[in-house]
Structure 1
Amino acid sequence: MKNFKSVLSLFFLVLMVSCKVGTNTEKLFNIVDYGAVADGVTDNAVAIKKAIDACARSGGGKVIIPGNGVFLSGPFDLVSEMELHVEAGGTLLANPDTSVYVKSAFRENQGEGTVWIGGENLHDVAITGLGIIDGNGIKFMGEELEDSYELLPFEVKDPRPHVLTLVNVHKIRIENVTFRNSAYWTVHLIGCDDGVINGVTIDNSLKIRNSDGIDLDHSKNIRISNCNIKSGDDSICLKNRREFKEYGGCENIVVTNCLMSSRSCAFKIGSENMDTIQNVTVNNCTILESNRGIGIQNRDEGVVQNVLFSNIIVESRFFSDVWWGKSEPIYITAYRRANIDHKDAGWRFPEGATEGFVGQVNDITFRNIQCRSENGIYVSAESPDKINHILFDGVSVVLNRVTAYEGGIYDRRPCEGEGLVKAKTSAFFIDNANDVLVRDCDIRLGANPPLNMGELVHR
């Protein structure tokens, strides 16, 4: 028995040593060891690239932004089997010099920003840590206006950097890190598969236009959970941009336990959708101080189908015409896109076409949604066949005025025809849609009801 105990003790000792050795042999690449300086002034892009190159040569590992200051950097790319780890107390800050941003975020379409942190055709990529990735967004803005910043003019290329742009990456993990102050979109996943975004904070200026939180573009099998997202533009948006059409539809998306706030739409599907967006579940979320709460905005030939929203609180209010939306807590529209002279007008229609058409929105369920808003739920299409089988089950709407805006208006932008539509305020305004069922829903007026009240349910 004594010998048995000795052997057992030796076994556990060897096991503990093995575990300790395994932990300590993790391949770490601290950017300071490659020349990075935490002074908030020096561009550390070269040092960061050296650390990433060393990580790639070793077969993968963890590139560390240490927690001892601000590391300014221009653009750089991630590699496969790499974890970019930003330690608590550390900040990675985008270089405010527009001349260092040369790669378009949308390939040949140069009118919608550039790439800061990028990566393409990769696998097993992670961004983690309790530190901060700061897009330095206000440095790229013009004059501060009442509820937005003026956008600086440009000729061909909009130099504003997107914070993170990943294209065709399999297996992505983004956890716990804070993104803030983006000059354009913050996290853009294009043609990506099998991704987890968990515990992330996105804290953008509510005055910066186009500062989306998370954009899933032609991506599949993505889970977003436990995130806190504040953004001038959409907090979370699903889409299929024409520039990346080879990656197919956006599908199998789960969003849960998130807190969102937006000057545009907190959770949006569209407006860019040239393929299919389907199999989407959004559950247990809270939307506060937003222009719109939940929006499905189909403007292209793609289809939106099989979407479930449940157990969500929505608080929405009016903002100025700078921002799309007119305080609709839930918004479903299907209108063809207008042909206008715009910075990226050539990329809005199928190749060779000068006008488009709009696909269907089918089988959408809203269950147990609590809405408190200055305007009502809006469902509208250019023809009845474009919106089919919509269920509002256990949805409550409290209409209460909290701003000085007059109301009596709904927003269809961007669309062919009238964009801002004047109409009486209804809790449910349903126009040109097939099979819309309103079941066990509750409608109430707050202490300050809208000035332009119409019938509570308009069909």
Structure 2
Amino acid sequence: ANASSLKIIGGGRILGDGAASFTHGEDADMGTLVAHKLRPRALVLEGCRNVQIEGIHIHDSPMWTMHFADCDDIEIINVSVDNNRRMPNTDGIVIDGCRNVRIIGSSFRTADDGIVLKTTRRENGQLTGPCENVTVQNCIVESRSCALKIGTESFSPFRNITFEDITIEKSNRGLGIFSRDGGLVDGVRFARITLACHETPAGFWGSGEALTINTIDRRPEEGPAGQVSNIVMEDVSGSMEGTINLVAERAGDIFNVTIRRVSLQQQPGPLGTALTYDIRPTIDDRFDRFPKDKGAGRVNAWRFGPDGKIIGLIDYPGGMPGVFAKGIAGLLLEDVSITRPDHLPDRWNPETVVELDTANAA
């Protein structure tokens, strides 16, 4: 912690032995391992400045693989992360309240989020601070959760974030922004990305979406979720078994979203889980509200309502479209091509684009 001019360079390997040493069974419904409650992260740097990580390889991390908290001037070059695809909570790299970050020419293959930006709050109430000036280039990502993600922990702002020239392979969600805790998200660009997004079992958040942006109040007693603005998705191609999904709980809290030069093939998945849209995590998924009864779901992942259905999964009105936008202000679709089956499957919307509750920016 609090080091400066730190370099970790070379072709060495860090072997985490996560699947063998930090699990105690399998979850047959989810197809995942059941992990121990207490697990180490592979690499943690906090409060550091002028950091360079280059050429290292990390395998089978038990928990978050690389975690940078409240750091400034970070360069990650030619790093590879290859975790067990059935091991929960093994995010590839977590950029938590950091500034001036460059992730270049690296690969992240993991069961949880691939490259994720967060702005967390510590147990003592202190914030890690904003995420600003982050660039991710020329990377390969495979994730059973979300490949490129902002949130859900979002107590401080995110500004000036760029993901470009990235290949997303065999993933659940491709691109995601999830505002929950009050920090605004402003100025995010996803560019020149190829992706392949597939359905996952209902316990996983999301299912096969190329792009998901949503704002949900997780702590209404403290204040609303931060607004999301000035988002660009351009020059993106590939396939998805879900949709492009944009949902603002309060109309206008997501505004100025541009989607252009996008070519996607939308195809039915084998599970049918993409036929609902997912607003988890919600207020009901908070640790302090989750019931102790193990039969009620999994802590901070899902819980069942009185109707026996998972809370946070909502049927698309009229069926699943190619683009679903609810409560969005200033949505621009330009040269967007979504190829759908000639004969639409059951519960697919005949309209490729569905916009509801369009609004002016709040």
Which band: TM-score by shorter chain?
0.7 to 0.9
- Cα distance between partner residues in 2 of 1:371 and 1:458: 21
Kept in 2: contact 1:400–1:449 (CA 8 A):
no
Match of 2:313 in 1: 420
Q: Deviations over 1:396-444 (max 9, x none)?
A: 2211124243541111100147511111211100011111111111121
Q: Which has the higher helix share?
A: 1
Match of 2:227 in 1: 360
Deviation at 1:328, TM superposition (A): 0.9
CA change 1:216–1:300 in 2 (3 A) is same
Q: Does 1:335 align with 2:216?
A: yes
Match of 1:160 in 2: 39
TM-score by length of 1: 0.67
Q: Does 1:184 align with 2:68?
A: no
**Greater relative CO (CA pairs within 8 A, separation 6+):** 2
SS in 2 for 1:441: strand
Match of 2:196 in 1: 315
Extract unaligned runs of 5+ from structure 1: 1-119, 153-157, 338-348
Q: Does 1:150 align with 2:150?
A: no
Match of 1:292 in 2: 173
Q: 15, 18, 41: which is aligned to 1:134? A: 15
Q: 163, 166, 188: which is aligned to 1:282? A: 163
Match of 2:2 in 1: 121
SS in 2 for 1:385: coil
Question: Aligned partner of 2:204: which letter?
Answer: W
Kept in 2: contact 1:393–1:438 (CA 8 A):
yes
Q: Deviations over 1:280-312 (max 9, x none)?
A: 111000101111000001111000001111100
Q: Does 1:457 align with 2:338?
A: no
Deviation at 1:371, TM superposition (A): 3.5
Match of 2:334 in 1: 439
Kept in 2: contact 1:425–1:450 (CA 8 A):
no
Question: Aligned partner of 2:34: which letter?
Answer: E
Percent of pairs identical after alignment?
Answer: 32
Q: Deviations over 1:195-243 (max 9, x none)?
A: 1101111001111111000000010001001111101110000110011
Kept in 2: contact 1:408–1:452 (CA 8 A):
yes
Extract unaligned runs of 5+ from structure 2: 285-310, 356-362
Larger CA deviation: 136-145 vs 401-410: 401-410
Kept in 1: contact 2:121–2:128 (CA 8 A):
no
- Cα distance between partner residues in 2 of 1:389 and 1:229: 30
SS in 1 for 2:2: strand
SS in 1 for 2:239: strand
CA RMSD of aligned residues (A): 1.7
Q: 232, 237, 240: which is aligned to 2:111? A: 232
Question: Aligned partner of 1:374: which letter?
Answer: E
- Cα distance between partner residues in 1 of 2:343 and 2:280: 28
Match of 1:379 in 2: 246
Match of 1:215 in 2: 94
Question: Aligned partner of 2:203: which letter?
Answer: V
- Cα distance between partner residues in 2 of 1:449 and 1:226: 39
Q: Deviations over 1:156-211 (max 9, x none)?
A: xx420011111000011111111111111000000101111011110011111110
- Cα distance between partner residues in 2 of 1:408 and 1:184: 31
Flag as ranges the 4+ runs of structure 1 deviating above 6 A.
none
SS in 1 for 2:35: coil
CA change 1:446–1:126 in 2 (3 A) is farther
Name the count of aligned residue pairs.
321
- Cα distance between partner residues in 2 of 1:272 and 1:204: 23
CA change 1:151–1:321 in 2 (3 A) is farther
Deviation at 1:385, TM superposition (A): 2.1
CA change 1:127–1:448 in 2 (3 A) is farther
Deviation at 1:322, TM superposition (A): 2.9
Q: Does 1:394 align with 2:290?
A: no
CA change 1:450–1:125 in 2 (3 A) is farther
Deviation at 1:355, TM superposition (A): 5.1
Deviation at 1:326, TM superposition (A): 1.5
Match of 1:67 in 2: none
- Cα distance between partner residues in 1 of 2:14 and 2:159: 31
Deviation at 1:136, TM superposition (A): 1.4
Match of 2:293 in 1: none
CA change 1:425–1:377 in 2 (3 A) is same
Deviation at 1:247, TM superposition (A): 4.2
Match of 1:174 in 2: 53
CA change 1:448–1:164 in 2 (3 A) is farther
- Cα distance between partner residues in 1 of 2:33 and 2:224: 33
Question: Aligned partner of 1:150: which letter?
Answer: V
Kept in 2: contact 1:125–1:171 (CA 8 A):
yes
- Cα distance between partner residues in 2 of 1:247 and 1:416: 22
Kept in 1: contact 2:201–2:271 (CA 8 A):
no
- Cα distance between partner residues in 2 of 1:165 and 1:447: 50
Question: Aligned partner of 1:122: which letter?
Answer: A
Kept in 2: contact 1:378–1:428 (CA 8 A):
yes
Q: Which of structures 1 and 2 has the bigger CA Rg?
A: 1
Q: Which has the higher strand share?
A: 2
CA change 1:189–1:308 in 2 (3 A) is same
